[in-house]
């Protein structure tokens, strides 16, 4: 009774406030019997509750709750009006300055880092999923039960499932059963086995950045629990959930922080996420929502990025070869990202080389005319066309570059005889990143490819009779070439310099044995033995680093020792290795592009970033010619890469052209939370070498404007801005990382708006909330770590990460799921399928000539257009709280919708067997954890937009049950892409499919249309006619090709019918023929699949009758045949087609 009275007083007080008046205006009539129990959010006596259910217990008295109104008009997830949904309750928590301790009530001291307990227990939580940073640049999902200590530090979004008695896995899967068939049909009318329990609700927490620049995160880490007890002056033990609010600058302090955490409670996890992000956007006004932003046109076309194809060795001729290679297979790239490697950068003076491995032509590059000439003489290969030759040709640009590609040995043909839906066979060389150091540009002779960079090896062949000094030169060149390609080991372009040096030593040792006929054979055995020993040592040291040094726990004894070594004794050696082999201590020395991207007049005879270049008028250095050449090959949009601070090492303070921006060398000082996540940041190359940061943020804004003006004048359409998350460690002395990030993103977006009017900005390596919560107008951002072609363990984890991170980030931006490589065997097919359902831009990073065109044609039309889903791809509701990577039972299911109403797509993936290890900070592959297969249960209700219509679906079911018809009419037609099977399912029926590791299937779901009372003849075969236009069979997201559909009933006079017996003399009546015409507007080419319970009398495409197929093999939930699949040929012409199916009685 006292609790009810207190609640009534609080409610009256709240209603009298302006915020309370807004919240009161937001009350709605509850829809659904469970809504009454959720009377609203209330914080009282250390308990945060919704209605009668406690969400958090043990909340610090410093927290104050303000309920706010859910101002959404229509749900973006379901498309329904918010007033028609179950009510969503939203609140904002602030951190007050009044606290209680052993000494009683007191005022909190102004400090730069507050750690406050927000929960000692999660009493009604059954499961959670937390999106937390896994390294400086990225975040990854973590799953758990009700333990506060399981929530990792740097959690930036937390989703709870409450109201369930006991935890457990979702209903996405069944147990692996060795005797189960590939596709198991159910006996009887089967519903989903795992049903959502009545009263289940979902709570979303979004830590914010306060107006005075304090960034909040959640943490269950033991060190934060200890700090919280020290700051509060209270004792206790255990691992509570803490809120951490910090400025990142010791001089920026406060004793309280307003609007530090937003919370929303809803009956759907996606509604809770949408509501909490929308409320936070309105509250902070620092970031916008995806639904309100302009999406660049690059999201709708196929693209190509240069990074995994060339790394830093990218050249204009290489870009042209890559574009032409894709076009030769019928999958043209319409947008291109020129990634890292085009800028004019240099290391500090003490570490400069005569030929820089980033800004200069790579040694042995086939695109450097002098080197190519020498290689041609030594290997007796045909001459390679130079860049100037390509410009002077009289042929069309496409034909010219294709001819040059043929000269390189590049072939765009895919594997002959492969089944249409077969995954490409794994390549013996899965990526240029894992190839031998001489193999950087092509393929093996097995597919008619002779890599130009491989010429150096053929030159060392015994048949060439080279001397020992020549062999030594080749060995030295191999090490330099390794530096230019930067072999991936799964950690952000080898972000640790020690590991980079070890990889280089290992590869150099492998190349040490170069047989030379002029030397006695016995003289080579010591080198061979030394090479084996060096290889073993390098591999052992590398393994020791990643599994020992890299994972040393923060503040542990080993961590302190390695920090001392890294920042002290070994610092000069590390910096020298990084400057020689990597990119993280290079800094911008010039606005204009480097010599690789300048024209021949600018290049001169000798290239080198150390050579002083005369400042030129923007656009006069030949970079505009490079961009024009790329666009002449059919590319519509060209983006260029740069980092948030210009480059990894920032702006060069000693470069004359950079002094006007007043760069100051700054050493990153990362927060304790980040160091707990990634302890090796204490000796990271960027930490050791520092970053050149403009003294005033406004000067960096001037750098953005000058750089973007130069790019725009050259014809560039946008930028990819990388390396953003380091801003959190560079804010000391500048008001803190959050305050600095807010200024930088404001100026960055203003410059992009001025110079790239299509909103051409991709945010990357940005997974710290000081970046994400400042995306005011930018609408594209990467949502996961890189796709690492050579790291097998990362391939499946990447698919899970992008899906789960999109639950949160997909409300702010269109998620970018990163590039992939189509030729990476089963991993390439897995990622292609994921991109098809991801609602993301689709682009690859294939090396020229290394493509699986059979796979790419399932994603890309001949025009370069792709079928992108309308929403961000997210995990289905029944597997949101299950770990699809390591629980051995869950199949990851990703849902999306397409532009047409009442249709969607579901992708089912087996991504078991590998995961991200937070303890080691690397991807780990556990073969013991990989079940032989998992079973996915796919249902039309997996698509949230179809689930929202369950009331109407139930009504139709009841109507069908009460009808005279003995057969139950289906509600949805579901088509499996790989198997080609079509089924007719009710909203709650399931389709079970067995998936082996890295196997996948995509299901197109379309609402079935039907006739009921349109026909007047009760005996007509049209009375219960049902049909659905499903989609293109040759595309992974074929349902996205059907833009709209409708139907009409026609009645035509037949005239007087003839009597079967004229002798009877009966008078005949005029009959009317009844027919149903179904219409669809379809974009694309190929074959269109449709479902129908009867064979159409005729099918027309663009007004012309066509021969169509009808297979009566569509089954229902119980296995009975209930219709057939109609296959309509649209022809090879890609266009918008009008399709008609005519049914007659």
The pLDDT tens digits of the residues spanning 778-812 come to 999 999 999 999 999 999 999 999 999 999 999 99
Q: Tell me which residue of 716, 702, 717 sits closest to 751, measured CA to CA.
A: 702
Give CA separation, 493 vs 304, 582, 648, 1019, 1046, in Å: 19, 8, 11, 70, 51
Query: For the residues of 738-770, what is the DSSP string, one character each?
Result: HHHHHHHHHHHHHHHHHH-TTT-EEE-S--SHH
pLDDT of residue 174: 34
Higher pLDDT, 759 or 521: 759
Higher pLDDT, 814 or 790: 814
* Residue 625 and residue 702 in contact, taking contact as beta carbons nearer than 8 Å: no
Higher pLDDT, 189 or 120: 120
pLDDT of residue 428: 32
pLDDT of residue 101: 54
Higher pLDDT, 1126 or 1022: 1126
pLDDT of residue 534: 76
Phi and psi torsions of 836, nearest 5°:
-65, -30
Local confidence band at 524 (pLDDT 50, 70, 90 cut-offs): low
Higher pLDDT, 594 or 927: 594
| Host H or E run for residue 558 | helix 557-564
Q: Tell me which residue of 134, 154, 135 sits closest to 242, measured CA to CA.
A: 154
Please compute, for residue 818, the number of CA atoms within 13 A of its CA located in the half-sphere on the CB side.
26
Residue 164, token pair as written in the block: 């369930």
The pLDDT tens digits of the residues spanning 1060-1094 come to 444 444 443 445 678 899 999 999 999 999 999 99
Higher pLDDT, 103 or 188: 103
Q: What is the mean pLDDT of residues 523-535?
A: 70
Q: Distance between CA atoms of 266 and 977, rounded to whole angstroms?
A: 34
Q: Tell me which residue of 485, 316, 314 sits closest to 386, measured CA to CA.
A: 316
Give CA separation, 559 vs 243, 552, 555, 574, 679, in Å: 25, 5, 6, 17, 7
Q: Distance between CA atoms of 254 and 245, rounded to whole angstroms?
A: 10
Higher pLDDT, 249 or 479: 249
**Helix/strand/coil for 642:** strand
Local confidence band at 544 (pLDDT 50, 70, 90 cut-offs): confident
* Residue 753 and residue 777 in contact, taking contact as beta carbons nearer than 8 Å: yes
pLDDT of residue 545: 87
Local confidence band at 370 (pLDDT 50, 70, 90 cut-offs): very low
Q: How far apart are the first and last CA of the chain?
A: 70
Identify the DSSP state of 1038: G
Residue 299, token pair as written in the block: 């999201």
Identify the DSSP state of 987: T
**Helix/strand/coil for 962:** helix
Phi and psi torsions of 443, nearest 5°:
-125, -170
Which residues does residue 1084 pair with via DSSP β-bridges, in sequence order?
1135
Q: Tell me which residue of 841, 725, 805 sits closest to 492, measured CA to CA.
A: 725
Local confidence band at 585 (pLDDT 50, 70, 90 cut-offs): very high
* Residue 818 and residue 832 in contact, taking contact as beta carbons nearer than 8 Å: no
Q: Distance between CA atoms of 164 and 110, rounded to whole angstroms?
A: 41
* Residue 1085 and residue 1133 in contact, taking contact as beta carbons nearer than 8 Å: yes
pLDDT of residue 926: 81
Local confidence band at 874 (pLDDT 50, 70, 90 cut-offs): very high
Q: Is the pLDDT of residue 318 over 50?
A: yes
Q: Tell me which residue of 271, 334, 337 sits closest to 866, measured CA to CA.
A: 334
* Residue 1002 and residue 867 in contact, taking contact as beta carbons nearer than 8 Å: no
**Helix/strand/coil for 105:** strand
* Mean pLDDT score of the chain: 79
Give CA separation, 673 vs 115, 129, 677, 1013, 1074, in Å: 11, 19, 6, 65, 72
Instruction: State percent of the chain over pLDDT 90.
Output: 61
Which of the given ranges, 381-395, 406-420, 923-937, has the highest pLDDT on average? 923-937
Q: Is the pLDDT of residue 579 over 60?
A: yes
Q: Distance between CA atoms of 949 and 941, rounded to whole angstroms?
A: 9
Local confidence band at 616 (pLDDT 50, 70, 90 cut-offs): low
Tell me, rounded to whole angstroms, the distance of Cα 121 from its chain centroid: 33
Q: Distance between CA atoms of 815 and 775, rounded to whole angstroms?
A: 13
* Residue 429 and residue 439 in contact, taking contact as beta carbons nearer than 8 Å: yes
The pLDDT tens digits of the residues spanning 933-974 come to 999 999 999 999 998 644 444 444 544 444 444 444 558 999
pLDDT of residue 357: 85
Q: Which residue has the tokens 């020993």?
A: 533
pLDDT of residue 362: 61
Q: Tell me which residue of 592, 591, 627, 590 sits closest to 610, measured CA to CA.
A: 590
Q: Distance between CA atoms of 640 and 623, rounded to whole angstroms?
A: 12
* Residue 922 and residue 550 in contact, taking contact as beta carbons nearer than 8 Å: yes
Strands (E), 977-1041: 982-985, 991-995, 1000-1007, 1009-1010, 1026-1032
CB-count burial class (<10 Å; 0-12, 13-18, 19+) for 198: exposed
Q: What is the mean pLDDT of residues 490-507?
A: 45
**Helix/strand/coil for 57:** strand
């Amino acid at each position: 009774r006292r609790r009810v009275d207190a609640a009534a007083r609080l409610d009256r007080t709240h209603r009298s406030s302006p915020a309370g008046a807004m919240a009161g205006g937001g009350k709605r009539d509850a829809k659904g019997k469970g809504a009454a129990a959720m009377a609203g959010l209330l914080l009282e006596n250390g308990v945060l509750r919704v209605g009668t259910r406690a969400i958090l217990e043990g909340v610090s008295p410093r927290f104050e709750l303000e309920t706010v109104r859910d101002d959404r008009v229509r749900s973006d997830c379901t498309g329904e009006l918010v007033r028609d949904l179950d009510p969503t309750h939203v609140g904002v928590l602030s951190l007050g300055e009044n606290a209680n301790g052993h000494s009683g009530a007191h005022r909190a001291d102004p400090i730069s880092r507050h750690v406050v307990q927000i929960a000692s227990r999660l009493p009604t939580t059954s499961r959670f999923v937390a999106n937390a940073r896994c390294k400086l640049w990225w975040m990854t999902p973590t799953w758990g039960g009700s333990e506060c200590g399981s929530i990792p530090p740097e959690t930036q979004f937390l989703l709870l499932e409450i109201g369930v008695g006991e935890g457990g896995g979702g209903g996405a899967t069944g147990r692996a059963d060795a005797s189960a068939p590939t596709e198991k049909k159910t006996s009887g009318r089967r519903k989903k086995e795992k049903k959502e329990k009545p009263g289940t609700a979902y709570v979303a927490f979004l830590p914010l950045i306060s107006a005075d620049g304090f960034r909040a995160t959640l943490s269950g880490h033991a060190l934060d629990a200890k700090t919280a007890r020290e700051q509060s002056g209270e004792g206790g033990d255990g691992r509570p959930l803490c809120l951490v609010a910090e400025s990142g600058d010791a001089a920026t302090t406060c004793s309280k922080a307003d609007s530090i955490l937003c919370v929303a409670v809803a009956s759907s996890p996606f509604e809770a996420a949408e509501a909490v992000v929308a409320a936070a956007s309105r509250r902070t006004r620092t970031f916008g929502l995806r639904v309100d932003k302009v999406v660049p046109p690059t999201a709708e076309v196929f693209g190509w990025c240069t990074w995994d194809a060339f790394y830093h060795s990218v050249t204009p001729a290489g870009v042209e070869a890559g574009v032409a290679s894709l076009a030769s297979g019928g999958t043209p790239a319409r947008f291109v990202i020129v990634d890292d490697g085009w800028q004019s950068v240099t290391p500090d003076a003490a570490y400069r080389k005569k030929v820089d491995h980033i800004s200069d032509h790579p040694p042995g590059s086939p695109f450097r005319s002098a080197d190519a000439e020498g290689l041609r003489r030594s290997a007796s290969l045909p001459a390679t066309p130079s860049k100037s030759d390509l410009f002077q040709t009289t042929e069309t640009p496409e034909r010219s570059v294709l001819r040059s590609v043929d000269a390189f040995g590049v072939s765009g043909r895919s594997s002959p005889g492969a089944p249409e839906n077969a995954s490409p066979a794994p390549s013996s060389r899965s990526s240029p990143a894992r190839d031998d150091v001489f193999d950087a540009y092509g393929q093996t002779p097995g597919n008619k490819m002779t890599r130009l960079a491989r010429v150096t090896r053929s030159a060392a062949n015994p048949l060439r009779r080279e001397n020992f000094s020549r062999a030594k030169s080749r060995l030295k060149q191999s090490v330099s070439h390794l530096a230019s390609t930067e072999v991936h080991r799964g950690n952000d372009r080898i972000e640790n310099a020690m590991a980079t040096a070890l990889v280089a030593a290992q590869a150099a040792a492998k190349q040490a044995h170069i047989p030379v006929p002029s030397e006695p054979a016995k003289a080579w055995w010591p080198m061979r033995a030394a090479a084996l020993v060096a290889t073993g040592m390098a591999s052992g040291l590398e393994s020791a680093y990643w599994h020992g040094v890299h994972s040393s726990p923060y503040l542990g004894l080993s961590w302190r020792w390695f920090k001392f070594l890294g920042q002290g004794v070994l610092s000069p050696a590390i910096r020298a290795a990084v400057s020689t082999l990597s990119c993280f201590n290079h800094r911008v020395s010039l606005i204009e592009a480097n010599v690789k991207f300048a024209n021949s007049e600018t290049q001169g005879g000798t290239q080198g970033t150390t050579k002083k270049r005369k400042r030129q008028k923007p656009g006069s250095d030949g970079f505009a010619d490079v961009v024009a050449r790329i666009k002449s090959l059919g590319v519509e949009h060209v983006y260029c890469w740069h980092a948030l601070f210009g480059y990894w090492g920032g702006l060069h303070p000693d470069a004359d052209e950079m002094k006007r921006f007043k760069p100051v060398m700054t050493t990153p000082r990362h927060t304790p939370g980040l160091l707990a996540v990634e302890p090796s940041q204490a000796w990271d190359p960027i930490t050791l070498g520092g970053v050149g940061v403009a003294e005033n943020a406004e000067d960096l804004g001037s750098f953005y404007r000058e750089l973007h003006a130069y790019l725009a004048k050259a014809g560039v359409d946008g930028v990819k801005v990388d390396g953003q998350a380091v801003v959190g460690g560079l804010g000391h002395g500048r008001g803190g990382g959050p305050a600095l990030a807010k200024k930088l993103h404001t100026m960055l977006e203003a410059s992009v708006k001025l110079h790239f009017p299509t909103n051409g900005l991709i945010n990357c390596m940005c997974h710290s909330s000081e970046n994400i919560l400042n995306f005011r107008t930018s609408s594209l951002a990467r949502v996961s770590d890189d796709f690492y072609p050579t790291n097998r363990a990362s391939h499946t984890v990447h698919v899970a990460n992008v899906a789960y991170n999109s639950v949160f980030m997909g409300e702010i931006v269109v998620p970018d799921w990163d590039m992939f490589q189509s030729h990476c065997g089963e991993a390439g097919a897995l990622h292609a399928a994921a991109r098809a359902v991801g609602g993301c831009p689709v682009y690859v990073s294939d090396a020229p000539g290394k493509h699986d065109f059979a796979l790419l044609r399932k994603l890309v039309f001949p025009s370069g257009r792709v079928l992108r889903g309308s929403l961000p791809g997210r995990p289905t509701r029944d597997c949101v709280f299950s770990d699809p990577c390591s629980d051995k039972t869950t199949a990851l299911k990703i849902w999306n919708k397409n532009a047409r109403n009442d249709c969607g797509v579901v992708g089912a993936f087996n991504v078991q067997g590998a995961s991200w290890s937070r303890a080691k900070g690397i991807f780990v592959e556990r073969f013991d954890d990989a079940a032989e297969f998992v079973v996915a249960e796919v249902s039309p209700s997996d698509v949230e937009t179809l689930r929202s219509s369950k009331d109407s679906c139930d009504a139709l079911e009841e109507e069908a049950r009460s009808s005279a018809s003995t057969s139950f009419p289906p509600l949805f037609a579901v088509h499996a892409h790989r198997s080609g099977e079509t089924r007719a399912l009710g909203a709650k029926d399931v389709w079970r499919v067995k998936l082996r590791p890295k196997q996948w299937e995509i299901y197109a779901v379309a609402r079935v249309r039907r006739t009921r009372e349109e026909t007047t003849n009760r005996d007509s075969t049209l009375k219960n006619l049902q049909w659905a236009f499903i989609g293109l069979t040759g595309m992974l997201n074929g349902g996205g090709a059907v833009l709209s559909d409708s139907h009409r009933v026609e009645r035509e006079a037949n005239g007087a019918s003839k009597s079967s017996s004229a002798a009877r003399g009966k008078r005949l009546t005029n009959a009317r023929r009844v027919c149903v015409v179904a219409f669809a507007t379809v974009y694309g080419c190929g074959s269109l699949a449709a479902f129908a319970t009867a064979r159409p009398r005729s099918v027309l495409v663009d007004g012309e009758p066509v021969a169509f197929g009808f297979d009566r093999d569509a089954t229902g939930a119980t296995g009975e045949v209930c219709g057939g699949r109609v296959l309509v040929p649209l022809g090879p012409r890609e266009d918008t087609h009008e399709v008609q199916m005519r049914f007659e009685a």
